């Protein structure tokens, strides 16, 4: 099946620093999604991207749909302790709602 | 609205036992899903349903069964539990209209250990 490679696997940063993570695939996706999972909870959608090259923000979060349609990036500016969690990318290859998830990036923020 | 609810939160099973993980949603969503999340990994789709009476296999269906008799409920059945089924199980739902992606809302998960 399709696979999404997410990197880095984990990050340990200082509060106030900016964070970048990315997701790559050997296949084309028509929709890219970024989710956050807090400990003991289910994932929650942060940003959805629908067009190649699209750049979308949600507060301090900015995500981009790569122009090759095989990658996506998530940036978090001025990190705060509540940003701690696991960030997942997910892709949709076409029509439908069947997601393929990346392995996640575990973010830890030191106050 | 309660959203997506799952019971139980935790369960320990012995090898060969069976159990049903319950999932319910009160958002009148037509699509429902079951995922499993192994430690340090992303979510993998087990089964999904596009409406009452219709179910289909996802990426990792072996060892599981589902049914969808109502719009609200989508139980997941493990018939002969195996250690490989130790995982966290998430149920999700969405309203799919055939257009662009419609957000999947996830439940809080069921942590299952098979010993």
Chain A residues touching B44 at Cβ < 8 A: 101
The CA distance from A48 to A28, in Å, is: 16
Give yes or no for A99 touching B (CB within 8 A): yes
Residues linked to residue B105 through DSSP beta bridges, in sequence order: B93
- 3-state helix vs strand vs coil in chain B, percent to 5: 5, 50, 50
pLDDT at B20: 97
- DSSP string computed for A5-50: EEE-SEEEEETT--EEEEEEESS--SEEEEEEE-TTS--EEEEEE-
pLDDT at B19: 96
Q: How far is A95 from chain B (nearest CA, A)?
A: 7
- Asked whether the predicted pLDDT for residue B88 surpasses 70, the reply is yes
Each residue's pLDDT tens digit in chain A (111 positions)? 567 899 999 999 999 999 999 999 988 998 999 999 998 889 999 999 989 999 999 999 999 999 999 999 999 999 999 999 999 999 988 766 688 899 999 999 998
Residue A111: both structure tokens together: 């106050």
pLDDT at B40: 79
Burial of A102 (0-12, 13-18, 19+ CB in 10 A): buried
State whether B101 and A92 contact (CB < 8 Å): yes
State whether B92 and A41 contact (CB < 8 Å): no
Tens digit of each residue's pLDDT (9 = 90 or more) over B20-40:
999 999 999 999 999 999 987
State whether A33 and B92 contact (CB < 8 Å): no
């Amino acid at each position: 099946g399709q696979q999404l490679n997410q990197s880095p696997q984990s990050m340990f940063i200082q509060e106030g620093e900016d964070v970048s993570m990315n997701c790559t695939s050997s296949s084309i996706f028509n929709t890219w999604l970024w989710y956050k999972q807090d400990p003991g909870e289910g994932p929650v959608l942060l940003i959805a991207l629908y067009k190649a090259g699209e750049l979308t923000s949600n507060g301090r979060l900015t995500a981009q749909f790569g122009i090759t349609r095989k990658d996506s990036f998530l940036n978090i500016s001025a990190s705060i302790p509540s940003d701690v969690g696991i960030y997942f990318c997910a892709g949709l290859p076409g029509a439908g709602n069947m997601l393929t998830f990346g392995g996640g990036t575990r973010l830890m923020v030191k106050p | 609205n309660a959203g997506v609810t799952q019971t139980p939160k935790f369960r320990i099973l012995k090898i060969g036992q069976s159990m049903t993980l319950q999932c319910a949603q009160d958002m009148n969503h037509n699509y429902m899903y079951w995922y499993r999340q192994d430690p340090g990994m992303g979510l993998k789709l087990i089964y999904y349903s596009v409406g009452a009476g219709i179910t289909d296999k996802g990426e990792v269906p072996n060892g599981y069964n589902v049914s969808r008799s109502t719009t609200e409920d989508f139980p997941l059945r493990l018939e002969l539990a195996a250690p490989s089924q130790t995982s966290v199980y998430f149920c999700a739902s969405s309203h799919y209209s055939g257009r662009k992606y419609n957000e999947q809302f996830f439940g809080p998960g069921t942590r299952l250990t098979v010993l």
